[in-house]
Amino acid sequence: MPSITVNVDDALKERMEQHPEINWSEVTRQAIQEKIETLELMDELTSESELTERDVQEIADTINERGRERVEEEST
């Protein structure tokens, strides 16, 4: 099986070391797997879309902004 190297800062490494029971390689592998599956799904869903990357970014920005506004409203 191929290996990869992941760099983390000292503070994160110290926090990870507080949990030696966790297999951090497996956590990383699972996170990468989930991200790849999400990207593949997005590729499949958008394969015939006529939206440009700019259009998609504008939509994402709008969704994120509305989400932030909603969180702020709910926390007040």
Residue 24 · residue 16 · CB < 8 Å? yes
The domain containing residue 59 runs over which residues?
Answer: 10-74
Number of domains in the chain: 1
What is the predicted pLDDT for the residue at 39?
93
| pLDDT surpassing 90 at residue 8 | yes
The answer to whether position 67 is within a domain reads: yes
pLDDT digits (tens, 9 = 90+) for 12-53: 999 999 999 999 999 999 999 999 999 999 888 888 888 888
Alpha-carbon distance of 39 to 74, in angstroms, equals: 31
pLDDT digits (tens, 9 = 90+) for 42-72: 888 888 888 888 998 999 999 999 999 999 8
User: Does residue 50 sit within a domain?
Assistant: yes
On whether residue 4 sits in a domain, the answer given is: no
Q: How far apart are CA 69 and CA 75, in angstroms?
A: 10
- pTM score > 0.85 for this model? no
